[in-house]
Amino acid sequence: MRDLTKYAKAMLMSAMILATTAVMAQQPGISHFRGYDKSAVNQFETSKDDIQPFNGLKVRVGGSFTQTFQALNHENVLDTVAAQFIDNNGDGTDDRELYPLAPGFNLAEANLNLDVQLAKGIRLSLETYLSTRHHSEAWVKGGYIQVDNLPFGDENSFFNQHMFVKVGHMEINYGDGHFRRSDAGNTFQNPFMEGYIMDAFTTEIGGEVYYTNNGLLVMLGATGGEIKGNVFRESALDPASNLDPTQLDTNRRAPSILAKLGYDKQLNSDLRVRITGSLYTTSSSNRNTLYGGDRSGSDYHLVMENTAASSGSNFTSGRYNPGFTDQVTSIMINPFVKFQGLELFVTYEMASGRSLFEPAPTEGAEDIDETRAATQIAADLIYRFGSNENFYVGGRYNTLTAQYRDVDDLILSDGTINRIAAVFGWFVTDNILAKVEYVQQSYDGFPATSIFNEGQFSGIMLSGAVGF
């Protein structure tokens, strides 16, 4: 029976591989398309030059699959003298005691990708999470329509030559880091295992208008400011209303405004230069998720989590969410240089904001800061080599300093998180990628009441991925 089961599994796997090969061989061309395989490496916004002949509606079915193996360990200092015993969940164990990690395979993650050419210069993109750490059920990430060519007027109009529009419930284009992060099963564009410590990624409902010309990129956008639609009039009292005693403000929702200005040019056959600056801001929100909108989860499972944690509920392990859920203003600057096989990608990010129920200045307490700040710096240095740059080695340095509130005296303190990572990657084919990474992350400046107190984690990660 065991041999029969093994045979059946082998036959099923062979059938899946043959079916995948057949689908990939018949994939239709989609204009202004960003791929899910090796072609996505170092691709950011779609290009106006990527034009496929239109001869009727086309549907492209794709998929992304990633399996990881984790061998990480973590530690912290559980200071029961300074902070006594903390047991808010009543399980008899200190909430700062770390989850007992052991080497093993993480949940395999998978995406289903549908891209449809609806008309000349008009396409639809729909991505569904089939299996993720955060959601065990299938979950639609979002969908949008992109218009690069107006179906009326002059074919050589200003819009058709230089502009395009995206409208829908979509991954917002704040910064360039979201183009290089893992997104559930879709991991080809990320040379490492994880994104950055402060992970700027979310989906919102709205639109973005783009202008491009000879390397210049300008984008303006507006969204509803939240991860899902909401027509309920909020009534929660905003503590910031104490700034004006004559007006009791409520937790109103306001739109989010996005902007990006950049330059991206292949200067010669060896050298490409890109630099962008991005802005995201909203004045009020019921629940803004710029730094907590990922519905798949971190690839470092259960690091720096306590013994009551679960992989699905505690899905942001290793990341830091500053908690700017009411107000947030963030700026990200991203230089990118690629010379032959050597490439450098840098992130400098400044963010400030607050949650709804944080203390705000009142009469006699004007010295209390209304907002907090966070600053992040990251640098990826990658060298690609071999036939068609099918191999690469790389290193990453990522540091974050974020203000948090001391609940006793309401003052702000700084916590710092540092991460270094080294990686080796191999594109076995354009649709198969293998990686091995060493990572080390440390925490400094967090109070004795925090699970991050003198914390750190380190170890090895391995992954195999398919994308088409």
Q: How confident is the model at residue 7 (pLDDT cuts 50, 70, 90)?
A: very low
Q: Which helix (H) or strand (E) holds 158?
A: helix 158-162
How does DSSP assign 226-268, residue by residue?
A: SSS-------PBPGGGGGSTT---B-----EEEEEEEEEEE-S
Q: How confident is the model at residue 48 (pLDDT cuts 50, 70, 90)?
A: confident
pLDDT for 10 equals 40
Please give the structure tokens belonging to residue 288: 């803004």
- pLDDT tens-digit readout, 351-373: 999 988 776 555 445 556 788 99
| Contact of 205 with 227, CB cutoff 8 Å | no
| 3 state SS of 275 | strand
Q: How far apart are the first and last CA of the chain?
A: 35
pLDDT for 242 equals 53
Mean pLDDT of the chain: 89
pLDDT for 105 equals 96
CA 173 to CA 161: how far, in whole Å? 21
Mean pLDDT of 309-329: 93
**Tokens 């061989």 sit on residue:** 25
- pLDDT tens-digit readout, 284-297: 898 899 999 998 99
Amino acid at residue number 137: E
- pLDDT tens-digit readout, 92-114: 899 999 999 999 999 999 999 99
- pLDDT tens-digit readout, 264-287: 999 999 999 999 999 999 998 988
Domain boundaries, the chain: 24-68+102-370
User: Is the model's pLDDT at 305 over the cut of 50?
Assistant: yes
> Cβ neighbours of residue 71 under 8 Å, at least 6 residues apart?
103, 459, 460, 461
Number of Cα atoms under 13 Å in the Cβ half of residue 269 = 0
CA 424 to CA 68: how far, in whole Å? 14
> How many angstroms from the chain centroid is the CA of residue 144?
18
> Cβ neighbours of residue 6 under 8 Å, at least 6 residues apart?
none
CA 45 to CA 245: how far, in whole Å? 46
User: Is the model's pLDDT at 243 over the cut of 80?
Assistant: no
**Tokens 């989590």 sit on residue:** 305
Helices (H) and strands (E) in the chain, counts: 3, 17
CA 25 to CA 19: how far, in whole Å? 10
pTM (predicted TM-score): 0.89
Please give the structure tokens belonging to residue 15: 């059938």
